[in-house]
């Protein structure tokens, strides 16, 4: 029963992470933010697979629960799409000849 709940939570977390990644690109957002979301999605996939296949261990349960907690905690900032704080700063091109 717990494994099923954890697998469903992993699915919800993965969906949320993929929605966030859909609004970001390497070119317009800080690579560290994009990479953090990609790595969290991979960790949730592995932990969800563990929970769905042969029972989640403590580490898999922690990965899923902490990912869900972080996604819920950061929801107000991300509700309208990626926040401006995740955008990369363009380099000034004043004085650069083409």
Nearest to 88 by CA among 1, 7, 39, 27: 27
**Is 70 inside a domain boundary?**
yes
Q: Is residue 13 part of a domain?
A: yes
The pLDDT confidence band at residue 98, using thresholds 50, 70 and 90, is low
Kindly tell me if the per-residue pLDDT of 4 is higher than 90. Answer: no
Structural domain contains residue 84: no
- What is the tally of structural domains in the chain? 1
Which range, of 38-42, 66-70, 93-97, averages the lowest pLDDT? 93-97
**58 domain-assigned:** yes
pLDDT score recorded for residue 23: 87
The domain in which residue 45 lies consists of: 2-77
* Tokens, residue 42: 């991979």
Q: What pLDDT, on a 0 to 100 scale, did the predictor assign at position 11? A: 92
pLDDT tens digit sequence for 22-50: 888 878 888 899 999 999 999 999 998 88
Q: No. of H helices and E strands in the chain?
A: 4, 0
Rounded CA separation 80/38 (Å): 20
Residue 52 domain-assigned (yes or no): yes
Q: Which of 23, 63, 57, 28 is nearest to 42 (CA)?
A: 63
């Amino acid at each position: 029963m717990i494994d099923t709940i954890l697998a469903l939570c992993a699915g919800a977390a993965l969906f949320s992470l993929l929605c966030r990644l859909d609004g970001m690109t390497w070119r317009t957002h800080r690579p560290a933010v994009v990479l953090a979301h990609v790595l969290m999605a991979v960790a949730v996939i592995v932990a969800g697979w563990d929970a769905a296949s042969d029972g989640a261990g403590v580490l898999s349960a922690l990965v899923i629960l902490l990912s869900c907690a972080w996604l819920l905690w950061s929801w107000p900032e991300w509700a309208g799409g990626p926040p401006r704080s995740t955008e990369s700063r363009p380099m000034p091109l004043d004085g650069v000849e083409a």
